[in-house]
Amino acid sequence: MRGGGGGCERKCGVGTSKFPAVDIFVTTADPVLEPPLITINTVLSLLAVDYPANKLACYVSDDGASIVTYYSLVEASKFAKHWVPFCKKYNIALRAPFRYFSGNSSPPQDSSQEFQQDWTRMKDEYKQLCKKIEDASNQEPETCDFDVFSNIQQKNHPTIIKVILENKEGVADGLPHLVYISREKRPKHPHQFKAGAMNVLTRVSGVMTNAPFMLNVDCDMYANNPQVVLHAMCYFLGAKDEIDCGFVQFPQFFYDGLKEDPYGNQLKVLHEYFGRGISGIQGPFYQGSGCFHRRKVIYGSSPYEKITAGELKDEYIQKTYGMSEKLSTSIAKTLLEGSNIIEQFNSDSPSSSIEIAHQVGSCGFEFGTAWGQKLGWLYGSVAEDILTGLFIQSRGWKSAYCLPDPPAFLGCAPAAGPASMIQQKRWATGLFEVLLNSKSPIIGTLFGKLQLRQCMAYLQIQLWGLRSIFEVCYAILPAYCLITNSHFLPQMVSLQISWCCYSMIVIFVEKSCINSSSFKFQSNSPSSPPTQNQAPKPRYMRRSSSIAVEHLQCSLHAFAEVRSPITPLFLMILPPPGLPGLPYHVDHLLSYFTTATEFVPSKRSIKDRKKTVDEHIHCLGHLFNNKVSRHLTIIKSSTTSVLSHEPKIGIQLQHCYELQHSTFYSSKSRDYPR
């Protein structure tokens, strides 16, 4: 939880002046559903990250225009003057106070006396902060600085911008800028939900600090890893070409999720597996929180466009981005080809740009511009994150997936069923809106630069709402079959169903063999001799490709005799054997399928079938070693089921199994013929 002392120069390394600046966006909308105490903990964890403070600026967007939220941020800024130095001095790993103190009732006993005193003092100050916020929630505070919040309505008020913290001296070990923003809202003007708030944050930060990179997080997603900014910069600055890293997405994990996730709102499959998979195509989706963006990407830049100074005329910029001279200057500085990301940062005091920030934060500034249509966070869906990320990747940008240890961000998951249903309904609705949008993945693939496989990945999640219909029907099907005394599967020839079960068992046995520590498949040529510790290769593994093809033809013939509707499926997943470099386990699996097909009644004699069975079962003895008994029992029961209609063959196979079983456990087991 703690380590040695050291400032930012020691933690981040010498030469922090060359670090690029980062603007951090925190969004909140309702002080009831999103308590201010949660918001300030997220802000405090971000202010205390291991990064030069003069390269950071934190902007908090309050769509609820809550005086309690603003008051909480003001009080939190006072606490931050003690909390941030405490975290960096002792290298505290968990920098959200409510999480840090909830897991520690007392300071570590093996720590120094100085640390124990500082720890006790910080916990007392945090308790006082929590009490002030709780009192303010019950009774609104009365201070002259809060006059702007008087007589305003949540959906009808002017722009409110307050600079709470300001690093005027540009000290790396100080505190970052902290700015409160509540954008203008009018009853007859569409505010576009979170996408509108993010676009206001982009413009206000553009005239105040104009950092080349932007991080946005939800108010309930605190920074769990203090080096999260450094992790993201490794992707941005380490990429050979900036096209490979338009944005860096961190997965969303939760600290208060229910065990076993009964409501499925933690989306573990999406974050832990699906995200890793699509990282090999064009990268993960933009998930709305815990994401670093290039500012130029949000401004609508394409990776294949080389913008020169002659193309960025004032008339074009003002028509596209809005009528603001300072905003136009910062946008031109960001979009110009070959611009230095260090020089893009505006080192002027944020308080000097308050008036211009009010202008770009007004609700009428976007009229006649491309905001929300071709640049910024896009409008048209409540799932603005997916729509915006899709539009970015359709222009040719790729994204990166970063999974540091410990996780970069931890959030709060809904704990009740109704809240989870409302959340997932909103997600499903938004995703389906994206599918029907003019910027859908299909359009992006046909007319943009979205890859086909990436398009299929987008369709997989955007059809989430429609898939639920079939999933519900599948879930109630077993109960329906029990009530009506009907079959779960269509009544087909019993041999076909048994063959399907047998094939699944074959795959299971093959997987167990691959994972067995006593047998390791080699990727060398089939002619390489076995080592002393390696199991002898069965004879069918050393057959020539022509014999393997003959076995495949035998399998096809057997499938044709069965005339099963599942035949094409098994033929698709079964690769042809004997190819150069083909792993042995593929030939191994093929031989099992061959054996199974030869069990099927055909014109082959019983003697030939028994001979093949004898050979394959004996091979299993060498492959499975001590696990022979368990696997032979599985195969024995399956074969008996398949051949229930052929008693004579079944009796001979039973005798074959018993003979082999006794042979395996005999002290004088014969060697396999080489």
Q: Say if 305 falls within a structural domain.
A: yes
Q: Say if 275 falls within a structural domain.
A: yes
Q: Say if 584 falls within a structural domain.
A: yes
Same domain, 232 and 297: yes
Secondary structure, 3-state, 67-87? HHHHHHHHHHHHHHHHHHHHH
Cis peptide before 404 (omega within 30 of 0): no
In angstroms, the CA 460 to CA 269 distance is 13
Low-confidence ranges of the chain (pLDDT < 50): 1-10, 493-495, 506-604, 620, 622-632, 634, 638, 641-642, 645, 664-665, 667-674
**599: closest CA among 673, 652, 549, 553?**
652
Q: Say if 234 falls within a structural domain.
A: yes
Cβ–Cβ < 8 Å for 252, 403: no
In angstroms, the CA 648 to CA 294 distance is 73
Model pLDDT, residue 291: 97
Model pLDDT, residue 661: 55
The residues annotated as belonging to the active site are: 63, 385
Model pLDDT, residue 423: 86
Domain count, the chain: 2
Same domain, 129 and 193: yes
Same domain, 63 and 202: yes
Model pLDDT, residue 650: 54
CATH number at residue 271: 3.90.550.10
Same domain, 154 and 55: yes
Q: Say if 454 falls within a structural domain.
A: no
Contacts of 275 (CB under 8 A, 6+ apart): 249, 251, 284, 285, 401
Q: Say if 465 falls within a structural domain.
A: no
Q: State how far Cα 227 lies from the chain centre.
A: 19
Same domain, 382 and 520: no
pLDDT digits (tens, 9 = 90+) for 209-257: 999 999 999 999 999 999 999 999 999 999 888 899 999 999 999 998 7
Same domain, 168 and 272: yes
In angstroms, the CA 300 to CA 347 distance is 24
Alpha helices in 336-487 (DSSP H): 341-344, 354-360, 384-394, 417-435, 441-447, 452-462, 464-484
Q: Say if 461 falls within a structural domain.
A: no
Which residue shows structure tokens 């520590």? 517
Q: Say if 330 falls within a structural domain.
A: yes
Domain span at residue 616 reads 494-664
Same domain, 84 and 184: yes
Q: In this structure, what are the phi and psi dihedrals at residue 351, rounded to the nearest 5 degrees?
A: -65, -20
Contacts of 451 (CB under 8 A, 6+ apart): 281, 282, 445
Model pLDDT, residue 123: 94
Considering the entire predicted model, what is its pTM?
0.73
In angstroms, the CA 496 to CA 403 distance is 45
Model pLDDT, residue 160: 95
